[in-house]
Amino acid sequence: MNRKFEDIKEQEDKYQLNTYAKLPIAIEHGEGVYVYGSDGRKYLDLYGGHAVALIGHCHPSVVGAVREQVGRLVFYSNVVYSSVRASVSEAIVEAAPEGIDRVYFCNSGAESNETAMKIARKFTGKSRVVAMQAGFHGRTTGALSATALGSYRSQFFPLLEGYDFAEFGSFEDIAAKIGDDTAAVILEPIQSMAGVEMADDDYYRKLRGLCTERGVLLIFDEVQTGFGRTGSWFFGDAIGVVPDIITLAKGIGGGIPVGAVLIRDFVSETIKPGEHGSTFGGGPVASVAVEATIRAIREEGLVENAREVGLHIAKGLAELDCVVRVRGRGLLLGVELRDEAKKLRDYLLERGIITGTSSNGNVLRLLAPIILKKEEADVFIEALGAY
C-alpha cells in the first residue's frame, strides 16, 4: 500500500542527514524510462537519477541476473577468484578502446577517480595533477581536490596539495599548466554538472599528443559519458582519442552501485598486488549487473539509439523560442534557456517529466536512459514548446 508523500517526507527529513535539495515527489518504482510516485503518478524520467538509469529502470536483463546471483552468492571478496567477476572483466575490456587491457572494480565515481590519480602518480613518479576549471570528480577528499566546480571545493579547505587547474578547452592554457612534476591530466570529456560544456574535437586530439610528448598520463572521467551515453561506447571512440585511464561508475551497473577503472597495457603491467584494493569492488552482484548492462547495450543497439535520439531532441528543441541552444552529445544534453532552468524544471515536473539542472542557472540538463524512443522524447519537446 502506498504511503502519503507528506508522511514519507517527514520521516526522511527527520532521520536522514540534510545534504540534498530534493524534488517534491517520492519515487516508489520504475520501469523503462518511467518512474512512479507514491501517489501512483507516472513520470517520464529524463534525468535517470543522476545518470544511473542508463538502460532504463529495472531492465529485465539486470533484474534477472541480480535475482539469480543473490540466490547463489551475495558476496565474497577479491581474496578468491569468481566466475562472474572473470566473465565481466573480459566483457568490459572487450568493450574498451584498443590498448586497454585491464579493469579495476570499485564502488563509485569518486573512488574510480582517486584510484586513477594514485595509479598515475605511482607510474610516473611525479606528484602533481592538472584538472579543469569547472570540472567535477567526486566528493571524497582526493576527488574533491581535483574538483574546481562552484563551491564544492571551497567549502572544505584545506584539501590535498598537488593540483593545478587549466581552462577547459584552451590548449594554450593546459600546455602552460603541465610542468616537469605533472603526473596526469584528468578531465570530464563533457563537463556535465558545469552545464554540459565540451571542447572542440581537435582539443582532445591535441591534448592526447601533448600528454604523450611530455610523459603525462591522460585520464578521462567517463562516469557520466561512458557506456554509450554520448553515442559511442566511450567518448574518445568518436574522435579517435584513447586516454591512458578511463574512470566509470553511475550507469554501468544498470542501477547497482559499482565503479571501474580501465587501464592501458603499458600502465597496467607495472601495477603489483597490494597497491590498490576495494572490499566490495567486483562483488558478485555488481559483476552480473555490469555484464547484463553490457549485453543489453549490445543486443538492443543502444549506442546507436543514444546517438539518433539525441540528434532528434537537439533538432526539435532548436525550433523552440524558449531555447537558446542545445549542447552535448548523444543523450547527455544541456538545454540553454532564455529563462531560469529551475523554473522550467518545475514546470515540466508538474507535467510529469523529470529533468535536471546544473551549476549554470540557465541550463536544463538531460541524462535520459539510452533506451529512450523518439516518440517519448517528443513528449518532452512538446511540453517545453508549450511553456
In the residue annotation, 250 being an active-site residue is answered as: yes
All cell numbers assigned to 105: 572494480
> Which residues contact residue 266 at a Cβ distance below 8 angstroms, ignoring those fewer than 6 apart?
none
> Which residues contact residue 161 at a Cβ distance below 8 angstroms, ignoring those fewer than 6 apart?
none
Q: In what order do the strands lie in the sheet with 323-329?
A: 323-329, 332-337, 363-366
Residue with C-alpha cell 559511442?
Answer: 232
Give the whole-angstrom CA distance, residue 379 versus residue 332.
Answer: 18
For every residue of 119-152, DSSP letters joined together read: HHHHHH---EEEEETT----SSHHHHHT--STTT
Catalytic residue (one of 105, 123, 136, 171): 136
For every residue of 190-236, DSSP letters joined together read: EETTTTSEE--HHHHHHHHHHHHHHT-EEEEE-TTTTTTTTSSSSGG
Catalytic residue (one of 126, 168, 250, 380): 250
In the residue annotation, 373 being an active-site residue is answered as: no
**CA geometry: angle at 327 spanning 312 and 36, to 5°?**
65
Are 181 and 126 within 8 A, CB to CB? yes
Catalytic residue (one of 45, 221, 237, 244): 221
- Is the torsion defined by CA of 141, 145, 147, 149 positive or negative? positive
In the residue annotation, 136 being an active-site residue is answered as: yes
Rg for the chain, CA atoms, rounded: 21
Residues with active-site annotation: 136, 221, 250
